[in-house]
Every structure is written in C-alpha cells, then in structure tokens.
Amino acid sequence: MEKRIVIIGAGYAGILTAKKLAKKFKKNNDVTITIIDKNPFHTMLTELHEVAANRVDEDSIKINLKKVFAGRKVDVKLDTVTSVDYDKKIVVGSNESYKFDYLVIAAGSKPTFFGIPGAEEFTYKLWSYEDAVLLREHIHNTFRIASCEPNETERKRLLSFYVVGAGFTGVEMIGELAEYVPFLCEKYDIKRSDVTLVNVDGLSRPIPNLPEKLSGKVSKRLEKMGVKLIMSAFVTNVTKDSIELKQNDKVQTYSVGTIIWAAGIQSADVTKEAGTNLELVRGGRIQVDSHLRSTKNQNVYVIGDNMYFVPEGEERPVPQMVENCEQSAHTCAHNIVAAITGKGEMEVYKPAFHGVMVCVGGRYGVAHVGLPNHFFSLPSFFAMFAKHFINIIYFIQVLGWNKIFNYAKHEFFTIRNNRSFVGGHFSNKTPSFLLVALRFWLGAVWLFEGIMKIVDGWFKAPKLTGFFGGANSWYNSILGIVETSAGADTVSAATGAGADVAADAVSAATGAAGGAVEAIGQVLADWNILGLVKVIFVSGKTLAESKISDYAFKLDIPAMNWFIDKLILPKDGVQLAMQIFIVVAEILIGLALMGGLFTTPAAALSLILQFMFVCTTGLYLGTFWMIFAGIAVLIGAGRTFGLDYYAIPGLKKVWKKLPFVRKWYIYND
C-alpha cells in the first residue's frame, strides 16, 4: 500500500530528512517523498551577512534543489503552502494540493518585531537570500549617494548604520559591515569619521550564549573596528530616518540612515497556519513529543526551528540553530522509517550540542565548543578554522564536492580585499597567462624525456635493474654502505658501466640521481622516521666543491623497495611493461602541457611521476623546479592559450548530465 511523505520546507532540516528517507526507501516504490518550498533553492542562512557586506557573491549561499535531489526519489515542488487539512490529510498550496500519510513541518523562521511601531516597515531584514542581496545593494548605493552629498549633517545621517540585535546574526552583520566600511570609504573618498556603526540590544552583553569572557572579547573587537555598543537599550519606535531607544528609563531619538533588524525570530507564517490545529507555543513553535511528533497528531513530525521540545534533564527548549536541524532530521527520518516499515524501535530525541561560534568579520572569531559538560574556548584562528570546517561538513551533507569546491573558491581563493582569516595568501591574484611559458617548458622537458628513453631502447629491453641499481649504489657509496660483490657485479652487468654508473635520460631531464659509484661526497641527512621512510640528502662532492646540481634528495620507503624488488625487477616482461608505461606517460604529459589540454590531470600525473623518482632513484636539486612547476600549473593554467579553453566547458556540460555524476555531486559549477 502506497505511503506518501510530504515535507514542508527545504531548509537544512527538510533537505536532510528528505535525503535520509530517499536513501532508506530507494528500492521501495510504495513510498513517495515530496518536498515543498517557495524557492527553487536552499539558502545558507548562517552566511547571509557575508553577502550583505559584499565579501562573497550571492551564488555562494544558494544551493539549487534540483541538484540536491538529482538521482534521488524525491519530488521537488515549487509552491507556497497556505494551509493543512489534517482530517483529509492534505497540504494545500497556491498551485496544487498534496495528499500525505506522514507530514514533516520544517518551514524555518522569520524575523519577529515584538509589535514595535515602524520596525517592520522601515528596517532592512537579514533572513533570506533576497534580504542579503537587497541590503548589499542598499549599502553600496548609500555610500555612492553620500559621496555626492554636500551637506555634512545629511551625509553623516546617510552613513549612520544601526544593527538592532546583538545575537549571532546581529553581531556577525555589524562585524562584517565594520570590516567592509573602510574599503567603501576609500572607493568613494569618504572620511571614516563620517560613518557611524552602532549595535543595539536590550541584552546586557553581546552573544549571551557565550561565556562572559568571550562576550567581552567580542565587545572589544567590535569597538576596535569602530562599532559603538548600546546594550540594555530597547527599541520603542522606528521611522524612516530615526530610531527611538529606551535605556535606564531614558528615551532618546537618534537620526539614522539605515536600520538592520536582527532582533529575534519566530516560526514562519506557514508553520503558524499549518499548526492551527496543533499545539502552538512561544514564538509560533509547535510542541512535539520525545519522538518529534506533534502532541496533537502522531502522523505529523516537526523539526528544526519549528519544533518546541525540552530534552530530559534540561530547562530550556532546544535552540533554533543548525545543529538542532541536523540532529532532529536524523531522528525524524529514523522514526518515519520505523513507523512505515514496522521494523526497529522509535528513537527518542536526545540532542547533543557541541558549542557555538561567532565571527566578527572575516578575520576574527570566537568559539566555545566541545562535548557536553566539557567545553573549551578556541583562539581566533582556530575558531575561524572550526567555523569553515563546520560549513564544509554542512555542504558535504547537502551537495557534496560540488558545493565544497564552490565554497572554498569564494571563501579562500577569490576572496575580496583579503577579508579572510588566512588573509589573501591563497587568493588567485596572479594573472594565469604568466604561467603559459612555464607550462610549455615543463611539457617540453617531459616530451624530451620520453623521446630520449625511446632512443635509449626502453621499448626493446629491460633497463630498470640497472636504472634503480646504479642509483642505489651511488647513494650507498656516499652513505658508506658496503655492497656485496655480487650486488656490484649485477649493477655492472646491467648498466655496462662497472663502478661508473652513467645517468640515463631521467637523470638528464628530471635529475634522477645516477652518477659514479665512488665513495666521494657528503651526507647532509640520513634520517630513519619510525621505520616507515628514510630521508636521504647528500652531495656527490665535498661541500666546498658542490653546486646545486650536485645535491640529491631521496625518500627511501621500504614498502616501495619491496614492490620494486619483488614484483617489478624479477621479471623482464614486467620491467618492460613498466618502462613502456613511464615513456608513454612522459610523452602524453609533455604533449598535454604544451597544448594546454587536460592540464590539471597532466600536471597531477607529472607530480606522481616525480614522486616515484624521488622514492626510487632520487632527484638532483637542480631539477626540483619540475615539482614546483607541476604545482604551479595544476589548476587553471590550461585555460590561457591552451586547448582547455575550448575542451573543458564542453566536457563539463556532458559530464554534469551523467546520472551517477549528478547523484554523487562529483562536478563543480
């Protein structure tokens, strides 16, 4: 018998629930899953301030729902839910109606204005994608207009920004704005002293969820950035160009240009409407039992921001935060599966939250994290690192590699004005056309390398015994390791060089260590690290006589040695096959880099071959440039004066259409 699951809202909780259910019922055609949202995309609400203050592009906080559910048995409906008929089990939308057997309410929240006159009409909000984009454009236009305003009083009024609310959203917004303002002042030739930034709240300190010491750090950081904090002050009235505050029974009106409202949230309208026949409590949230079912209807589950639940042993309801969305989605999906299949026990919701963190701009943050009953604070750098790490986990769950790549690009590699906790050190500021010559030369060296091996007979007879043996004997002679005469004879027979082992094409092109087997040279490093790898750094001459081309570096790895000695060298056929692979790889790498075609995999293979040489024959320092060149051209170098400019976009379109690629998100936008 068919079972219909309908999910209202494609926020974090709704998406995770739908994905978990789709995974559980992927082979069960009797279960249908429908998710309804008014937008065709999911918005990362925790990053809205970054868009509003122009640190990242708006696309970085949007995730297309069709991409999220590609290849999954989830029907995505673009609609606005207006009501729910619980008796007939029908969700009524503006476009159509949806029958359900199990309903999940995960519609998210909206700002609350506490009945303050003018608050909703005359303030900018920060609770949706549209809010962030609108606010960004408003801020930019405000500075543009103010730069042309001759009246100093009016100019200062225009440049007065008040953020109401000193919780997470408010502090992060004012911090981001304070970081952005100096760049706007420089762009529009405005004095920083003309700009007023104020954070207002009825609380006694910012971010009361944090320990008082960390709240103090937030306050000091904001003040250092030029933000004035007005705490224990309540907004009593808002007009188009003013805000009225009551503090210590004293009411004062301030002239303002922009008011940003971040003073609290309540459940979205759809939740209130859908919950008219359920148990509504404070903030429009719906009371649930320990299994996250409505106390009034056992077939209705409420999760995320919309649920009101006080865990056993706690005094307060679960917070409206991302971690609650994630954990409640897991419990909800598990219990719906148990209800439909009749297998397994219903799970009691026992959330375990791991702390909170807040960013004050893109370079500074504080965090109070850990395990229940054992929390600790993190220094700023690690707090910011934790914040980005958590976001990456978020994206892995929602859109995998696709969004991780996009997020890293926006947060680290194309960051504006160095506004990142790692500064601009990773930002791609160097013009890629400067790498063309390096890419071409690296390719030419690899092509020469492969051709010389063919000339040397690598396609005709086994060469690896002498190739590896000669290099090892050279290192051993410098390290003072005495070889058996049999070993020396083997090298002599294989190379035809006796004690004077000539370097082959690899030595010429890549610098793989060869040379004469003489007890001459200098040992600079001979370190055995836990028996897993031996680091060898030597010179073929005395230090006084050595040039950079005389220094050689090798990683002696026992596992690699065993592989070569036991599986490669004993059989001539295997040696020949390995030689042919190396030659063909070198030629293909060379041609690909020279032509700028498939540059990334070619550069990656170049680095792999270099690593193989470092672990077998070693490399002279004079040819280490090839390693660094491979790293330099690894990303994007083929798009400039290369065939990748034409090939990659076309291949990308084909790749993204493949079902398994879309399902596992192994592509990037």
Nearest Cα neighbor of 424 from 368, 500, 382, 362 is 362
Q: How far apart are CA 78 and CA 42, in angstroms?
A: 12
Do residue 254 and residue 281 come from a single domain? no
Residue 74 covered by a domain: yes
Angle of CA points 215, 220, 222, to nearest 5° = 95
Judge if 142 and 279 occupy the same domain. Answer: no
Cα–Cα distance measured from residue 351 to residue 328, given in angstroms and rounded to the nearest whole number: 8
Q: State the CATH number of the domain containing residue 60.
A: 3.50.50.100
**Is 426 inside a domain boundary?**
no
Is 626 in contact with 641 (CB distance < 8 Å)?
A: no
Is 423 within the bounds of a domain?
no
Find out whether 201 and 173 touch, Cβ atoms under 8 Å. no
CA–CA distance, 68 with 455 (Å, rounded to integer): 53
| Residues 438, 567 share a domain | yes
Q: Tell whether 171 and 85 lie within a shared domain.
A: no
Residue 640, CA atoms < 13 Å, CB-side half-sphere: 16
- pLDDT of res. 484: 55
pLDDT less than 50: residues of the chain: 485-519
Tokens of 667: 């592509």
What pLDDT is recorded for position 430? 64
Q: Are 234 and 278 members of one domain?
A: no
Residue 544 CA neighbour count, 13 Å, CB half: 0
Backbone angles phi, psi at 552, to 5 degrees: -130, 145
Choose one of 231, 263, 295: the last residue of a domain.
Answer: 263
Please check whether residue 611 lies inside any domain of the structure. Answer: yes
pTM of the predicted protein model? 0.82
CATH of the domain at 220: 3.50.50.60
**Is 398 a domain residue?**
no
Q: Who contacts 593 (Cβ-Cβ below 8 Å, separation ≥6)? A: 439, 440, 442, 443, 446, 599, 602, 603, 606, 633
Residue 52: per-residue pLDDT: 97
Pairing of strands 365-371, 355-359: antiparallel
Taking only the tens place, the pLDDT of each residue in 607-646 is 999 999 999 999 999 999 999 999 999 988 888 899 999 9
Domain limits for position 514: 434-653
Res 486: pLDDT: 43
* Dist. CA 566–CA 250, nearest whole Å: 87
Q: How far apart are CA 516 and CA 541, in angstroms?
A: 11
* Res 432: pLDDT: 77
pLDDT digits (tens, 9 = 90+) for 68-113: 999 999 999 999 999 999 999 999 999 999 999 999 999 999 999 9
- Same domain for 496 and 629? yes
pLDDT at position 236: 97
Q: Identify the pLDDT of residue 483.
A: 62
Residues 259 and 282 in one domain: no
How far apart (Å, rounded) are the C-alpha atoms in residues 669 and 667? 7
Q: How far is 4 from 34, CA to CA, in rounded Å?
A: 8
Residue 470 confidence (pLDDT): 86
Residue 328 burial (10 A CB sphere; 0-12, 13-18, 19+): buried
Phi-psi region of 78 (alpha: psi -120 to 50; beta: other; left: phi over 0): beta
- 439 and 569 fall within a common domain: yes
Residues 470 and 573 in one domain: yes
Does one domain contain both 93 and 139?
no
Instruction: Give domain status of residue 359, yes or no.
Output: no
Residues 297 and 195 reside in one and the same domain:
no
Buried b (16+ CB within 10 A) or exposed e, 478-499: beeeebeeeebebbbebbebee
**C-alpha distances out from residue 67 to 13, 203, 668, Å:** 17, 41, 11
Number of structural domains (the chain) is 3
pLDDT score for 515: 41
Boundary (domain end) residue, out of 305, 327, 352: 352
Residue holding tokens 């297309």? Answer: 64
Residue 230 pairs with which residues in a beta bridge? 200
Residues 184 and 76 occupy one common structural domain: no
**What 3 state SS string does 166-223 have?**
CCHHHHHHHHHHHHHHHHHHHHHCCCHHHCEEEEECCCCCCCCCCCHHHHHHHHHHHH
On whether the CB atoms of residues 351 and 309 are closer than 8 A, the answer is no
Burial 500-525 (b: 16+ CB within 10 A, else e): ebebbbbbebbbbbbbbbeeebbeee
Does residue 662 lie in a domain region? no
Asked if the structure places residue 173 within a domain, the reply is yes
d(CA 566, CA 329): 52
